[in-house]
Amino acid sequence: MDRAPGTPRRGRRVWAGALVSALSLTLAGVGAGQASAADVNNAKNAGFEAGLSNWTCSANSGTTVSSPVHGGTAALKATPSGQDNARCSQTVAVKPDSTYRLSTWVQGGYAYLGVTGTGTTDVSTWTPDSAGWKQLSTSFTTGANTTSVTVYTHGWYGQAAYYADDLSVFGPDGGGGEEEPEVPGTPGGLGVSGTTSSSVSLAWNAVPGATGYTVYRDGTKVTAVSGTSATVTGLAADTSYSFQVAATNAAGESPKSAAVTARTKQKDDGGGSGDLPRHAVTGYWQNFDNGATVQRISDVPAQYDIIAVAFADATSTPGAVTFNLDTAGLNGYTVDRFKADVRAKQAAGKKVIISVGGEKGTVAVNDAASATAFANSVYALMQEYGFDGVDIDLENGLNATYMTQALRALSAKAGPSMILTMAPQTIDMQSTSNSYFRTALNVKDILTVVNMQYYNSGSMLGCDGKVYSQGSVDFLTALACIQLEGGLDPSQVGLGLPASTRGAGSGYVSPTVVNNALDCLTRGTNCGTFKPSKTYPSLRGAMTWSTNWDATAGNAWSNAVGPHVHALP
């Protein structure tokens, strides 16, 4: 969400539409066949444990860091600058007429992986920015006279730094490569970090040399993850289960860990919906003065069912947040009056939650310690101010593994009535492989609603594979369809729009367009050229940034959209 009036978001959003057609090709090479047991990794210093030895990075763009790392103690960090895309490469010895599997793990900004000089067809693959480690993989075949190739990674012009680790060129030994890794050791420290009526969250210690982990329930494999935590879903309520975990890499799988037992909670209504209406309106309330109408919580119109207080503030402790009421900027609004207004809204049947993030939010939950700090600090704010839950509006990326861990730990503290909302940007929900989408699906059983921001985005892909322009009924319905068909329940999907032309850099549509999109999705009427294959009568509703900008425009948005949402089937 924007703190400043009419300020466009980061530059990467401007050309998102130019990338969407390529996005569908991004993962074409992922999941290439496994190398044979006799193959070796022909890359040298593949984990960057020896700094940049054997690697050359353009314009001095590369360095090695100790965090974040995927495996071992180091990883590559390469930063694009100006006309340089931070290309880091290595010449690798290979055998002629042979097939190799090229892969690496990446994190951060846009990241590319490729190979040249194959003597046949050079290949590459890429991924948009990723808050957590993601594997890129492809394969290539060498020519009859090819004895070496150049493998490379690079980012994209003007974008954030990318990280790469554990690169491999697996195939016949070309001479001088690294030996195939040994089977990793058995994970230790397996424990239960949270439970609901239908899921159990687990965490364990990292194992050196492991590239992934396999989770077993009662002796049967149920999921595989790259990090050191996982949530097993689809469980029966009030039932005991036994869990084990094993470490994996290219050499094989370790013995299973010692088992832990967890019992799911008794069944409740889940989803944190509490006594929310079937169809709800969410509005962000600004804890700052940026030119919009300054409000107290008591000034927020009754059409809003969920009021998201924007925003919590980061602290010096990674993952931890606090809340500082802007008393001076809000014309002397005191903490005691704020708390009383929150209680009054709740007495009127409304939910008031604390939003974490925003356009300038810098809260980072990237490991187990910061996940714990996040859960503990948000819960402390819920206790102090009476907030009903939390909104995740992290527009600068999130780590799906550890944000999932944090939210489950928070849910375990707050209980099943906790409200959990999210406000991802459009590009964050283009694919279920994106970190935001994965996080939403990971916590689906405790999730209230995802109010995606249908603004500041440019053109994007709809669920039918076509590109739609921002600011139309088709844009809203075809993008909502991705979430509706991608695993979220319709009751967990809302449409997020600016309340006025000043509320965002672009993407404002009239309330009539919002209402038409709601009708199209729930009733199959008032659609544009795109019409969903079915209707979703339980669609949750709509969201706006912000109640303050709505007030500046005479509450035109809430007066039109609010009654329409509440009258949906």
Q: Report, as residue numbers or ranges, the catalytic residues.
A: 395
Short-list 63, 452, 449, CA closest to 280: 449
Q: How far apart are CA 272 and CA 537, in angstroms?
A: 19
Residue pair 128/24 in contact (Cβ under 8 Å)? The answer is: no
For residue 111, what are the β-bridge partners? 127
Q: How far apart are CA 54 and CA 50, in angstroms?
A: 9
Short-list 20, 36, 48, CA closest to 250: 36
Strands 240-249 and 460-461: unpaired
b vs e for 103-136, b when ≥16 Cβ sit within 10 Å of the residue's Cβ?
bbbbbbbbbbbbbebbbeeebbbbbbbbbbbbbb
Residue pair 549/502 in contact (Cβ under 8 Å)? The answer is: yes
List of E strands, 46-146 = 56-57, 62-65, 75-78, 88-93, 99-108, 111-116, 123-127, 130-141
DSSP, collapsed to helix, strand or coil, labels residue 49 as: coil
Q: How far apart are CA 288 and CA 327, in angstroms?
A: 9
Short-list 53, 296, 40, 27, CA closest to 178: 40
Instruction: Report cis status (omega within 30 of 0) of the bond before 8.
Output: no
Residue pair 19/136 in contact (Cβ under 8 Å)? The answer is: no
